[in-house]
Homo-oligomer: A and B are copies of this chain.
Amino acid sequence: MLDKLFNPESIAVVGATPKEGKVGNTILRNLIAARKFRLYPVNPGYDKLLGLKCYPSVSEAESDTDTGIDLVVIAIPAGAVPEVLEECGNRGIKNIVVISAGFKEAGREGAVLESQLVSIGRRYHLNIVGPNCLGIINTHADLNATFGKTIPDRGSIAFLSQSGAFALAVIDWAKAAKVGFSKVVSLGNKAVLDECHFLEYLSNDRETGVIAMYLEDVSEGSRFMRVVRTISRRKPVVVMKSGKTEAGAKAASSHTGSIAGSADAYRAAFAQSGIVEAPSIQDLFDFSLTLSRIRSIGTGTGTGTGASTGGIAIVTNSGGPGVMAADAIEESGLKLADFERETLEKLLSLRLANSYNPVDIRGDATSELFGTVLDIVAADGHVGAIIAILSPTAPIEFDRAVDYLLKTDAKKPVIPVFMGGETVGAAVEELKRHGITNYFDPVRAVKAVSAVSAYQEMQQRALEPPHHFNIDTARLRAELPHTPVPGFELLKAYGIPVPAYGKATTADESLQLADRIGYPVAMKILSPDIIHKTDVGCVKLDVGREEVKRCFFEIMRRGEKYTSASRIEGVLVQEMVRGGKEVIIGMKRDRHFGPLLMFGLGGIYVEVFKDVSFRIAPLSRSDAIEMIRNVRAYRLLRGVRGEPMSDIDSLVELLLRFSQLCVEFPEILEADLNPIKVFEAGRGCAVVDVKLITRHPSHDL
């Protein structure tokens, strides 16, 4: 659909001008320089412009063509843009880049203009890039439809940027660093085309191997996740996300609400959709460059154990940096390859400084020895990739080292760490010509490799649909308000285990209920006004038969100190749950991604250690499993010090059911199931308390 946008033959530039330094001038010059487009400058003030015929309007330009205009680039004041768009629509022109600023980013008037732009775009099905953007680049078509003066080298990385100024900086840097791009898109205000449209286009773009994005927000969270999830299977999507660090969350009504922030939602969404997240700009391009040539750390034809994902081998002529790399590997969760016996025998016969991994070929090693060792190590079935570190010692001829490295790299990925400046310069250039990035710092090389490993892990994960349970939500929604304790009732309806309970409004009723439930019982006040029930003495635990009525009166009396009697619904009489470990499951509805689920172990672990994990609902089974495994306190559920293992399966099930509940009840904004007691394996779990915050506070469940 965006093919002609990126591969136009005829292009009109609205706002073209002979005045140097003006945006409309630079754009036209850029397009002329390619010498391959039919160009139509549009400016009523001129007949000719930079040697080209100039038109008073897009319409007149269009009528002068045989096959129409493929792309219009607009660089005129914002107020005049809608009219031009109308013209385009009328003339059947589909692809438009609106460079002009002065839209939503510029206040209320601009926002009105932008909504006009959107509605015209919708009416005519226009592909509008921007507004308020730098433009687009397709290096493989020599298309530089931006007001930046540089077109980057060709390469296989597509770069999408939500900041035009940043795109400008990256292009300038990339040109100097000889980093190539396939396409560059400045997203601007994303009024019509957003990151998803470009992602979809790029997923089928043969020139693009890796998609690198700088994002400040996403337009539609769940669409974004759906789109990326498919694409990331085939092409790595690397994202550097920036966005306002949230000022301390305002007093949230739920526990989950006070912990979960928008950054957590993004992180969860990225992880679930297979994005490789880059913590910094340097990482964004380190990761993208490495992923553009290495997609997996496989072990090739090895026969050893752990054959599928290989370990990392280090070959170095300088002990220190070898150890730095080994340390970084350990820290990043990658693993150092354990050499096969045959490999070791070969290496030992070479009398190196160290034949074990990291292999130290010693400071006096020649390029030949370097090549020989690379070859031996690459043949090892446990090795998935090699980090090759060379200091500029006298015996190393770097041109020859490059030859050896390329030969080995054809068989197994080699990441070069040629350390130095002038001495290694030519070799680094030569590697670059072969698409291989050199790192001065071994730690950076390791980080890049671990991005590959993260991508590979994501690809190996099964693509499961979210789990689905059959729930008659319409009936449930109708019945809920008439149930005594809607929160618990809702959980029960979703098959989530809750202790037996009932609501009592009189002391006699509480005794009848308790008799039916069995002793001892727990008793808690039911009132939307009393949140910290325990603190105000409105919770009684382990209540025996003889105490029930007294407790009922006491709870009511204490409750009435805090709220009027009319706001007390009664007393919850509940089966007393004993033993088990406490966990918390919560939800906060994120503005972009919808229900953000949280999991953690109760009390201290959540409050002090912030030891929680997040995922966006709906969850697949493996999402749920990961959520539980990702908290550091997971070991407590597995059982430490000989304790029995907790019933993790029942927690997975609970998460899946709760996930569906949150999706099907969008009126719930925040939720805490807290505490949930998890018993020994096979014995399930039970939600002891629940708090649901709805859009209408008076209807909280």
> Chain A interface (Cβ within 8 Å of chain B)?
21, 23, 26, 101, 147, 150, 161-166, 168-170, 172-177, 214, 216, 240, 242-245, 279-282, 317-321, 323-324, 326-328, 330, 363-364, 391-394, 419-425, 440-444, 535, 604, 607-609, 611, 632-633, 635-636, 640-642
Are A166 and B421 closer than 8 Å at their CB atoms?
A: no
Say yes or no: A320 contacts B172, CB within 8 Å. no
Q: Are A330 and B421 in contact (CB under 8 A)?
A: no
Minimum Cβ distance to chain B for residue A247 (Å): 10
Task: Tell me which of B244, B363, B394, B640 contacts A323 (CB under 8 A).
Answer: B244
Closest 7 CB pairs of A and B: A176-B421, A165-B318, A169-B419, A163-B320, A172-B420, A165-B391, A280-B443
A396 CB to nearest chain B CB (Å): 10
Question: Provided the pairs A245-B326, A245-B330 are in contact, do residues A166 and B443 lie with their beta carbons within 8 angstroms?
Answer: no
Given contacts A165-B318, A169-B391, A421-B174, contact A609 B636 (CB under 8 A): no
Establish whether residues B443 and A282, one from each chain, have CB atoms under 8 Å apart when the complex forms.
yes
A-B contact sample (16 more), CB < 8 A, given A172-B422, A245-B327: A26-B394, A161-B320, A163-B319, A163-B321, A165-B319, A168-B393, A169-B318, A169-B391, A169-B419, A172-B420, A172-B424, A176-B421, A216-B323, A243-B327, A245-B323, A281-B442
- Cβ–Cβ < 8 Å partners of A632 in chain B: 608-609
Q: Which residue of B lies closest to A419 (CB)?
A: B169
Contact call A281/B441, Cβ cutoff below 8 A: yes
A394 touches B147 (CB 8 A): yes
Question: With the chains together, A269 CA to B324 CA distance in Å?
Answer: 20
Q: Which residue of B lies closest to A360 (CB)?
A: B165
What's the nearest-Cβ distance from chain B to residue A354, in Å? Answer: 11
Assess the B165–A422 pair: CB atoms within 8 A: no
* Complex: chain B residue closest to A358, CB-CB: B244
Q: Which residue of B lies closest to A326 (CB)?
A: B245
Nearest-neighbour CB distance to chain B for A569, whole angstroms, equals 26
Q: How far is the CB of A212 from chain B (nearest CB, A)?
A: 14
Is B175 touching A640 in the complex (CB atoms < 8 A)? no
User: Contact: B633 with A172, CB < 8 Å?
Assistant: no
Closest-CB distance, A455 to chain B (whole angstroms): 21
Once the chains are docked, how many angstroms separate the CA of A434 from the CA of B150? 29
A279–B608 CA distance with the chains assembled, in angstroms: 27
Residues in chain B near residue A173, CB distance under 8 A: 419-421, 440
A244 to chain B: which residues have CB within 8 Å? 323, 326
Is B419 a contact partner of A166 (Cβ separation < 8 A)?
Answer: yes
Min CB distance A661 to B, Å, is 29
Contact B164 A363 (CB under 8 A): yes
Q: Give me 17 A-to-B residue pairs in the complex whose CB atoms sit less than 8 angstroms apart, sorted by A's number.
A: A150-B422, A163-B318, A164-B363, A166-B318, A166-B419, A169-B392, A172-B420, A172-B423, A172-B424, A173-B440, A174-B421, A176-B420, A243-B327, A245-B323, A281-B321, A281-B441, A604-B640
Residues in B neighbouring A321, C-beta threshold 8 A = 163, 165-166, 169, 242, 281
Q: CA separation between A422 and B101, bound complex, in Å?
A: 26
Chain B residues in 8 Å Cβ range of A317: 165
Cα of A161 to Cα of B318 in the assembled complex, Å = 12
How distant is A360 from chain B, measured CB to nearest CB, in Å? 10
Task: Report the minimum CB–CB distance from A446 to chain B (whole Å).
Answer: 9
List B contacts of A164 (CB < 8 A). 363
Q: Is the CB of A280 within 8 A of B441?
A: yes
- CB-based contact A444/B607 at 8 Å: no
A244 to B320, CA, bound (A): 9
Contact partners of A636 in chain B: CB under 8 A: 604, 608
Which chain B positions have C-beta within 8 A of A147?
394
Complex Cα distance A261/B425, Å? 39
When C-beta atoms are compared, the residue in chain B nearest to A440 turns out to be B173
Contact (Cβ within 8 A) A168 B391: yes
CB distance from A79 to the nearest CB of B (A): 17
Contact assessment for A216 and B320 in the assembled complex, using a CB-CB cutoff below 8 Å = yes
A640 touching B608, Cβ below 8 Å = yes
* Beta-carbon contact of A166 and B391 below 8 Å: yes
Quote the shortest CB–CB distance from A686 to chain B (angstroms).
Answer: 23
Return A277 CB to nearest CB of chain B, in Å: 13
Complex Cα gap A420–B167 (Å)? 10
Q: A172-B422, A177-B421 are in contact. Are A282 and B320 (CB under 8 A)?
A: no
Cα A273 to Cα B466 in complex, Å, equals 54
* A324 in contact with B281 given A363-B164, A604-B640, A636-B608 (CB within 8 Å): yes
From A150, A175, A319, name the one whose CB has the most chain B CB atoms within 10 angstroms.
Answer: A319
Distance in Å: Cβ of A457 to nearest Cβ of chain B: 22
A172 touches B392 (CB 8 A): yes
**How close is A333's CB to chain B, nearest CB, in angstroms?**
13
Query: Who on chain B is nearest to A105 by CB?
Result: B353
Minimum C-beta distance from A670 to chain B (A): 21
B residues within 8 A CB of A326? 244-245
Q: Which of A150, A174, A317, A364 has the most CB of B within 10 A?
A: A150
Residue of B nearest to A170 (CB): B419
- Selected contact of A392 from candidates B26, B168, B443, CB within 8 Å: B168
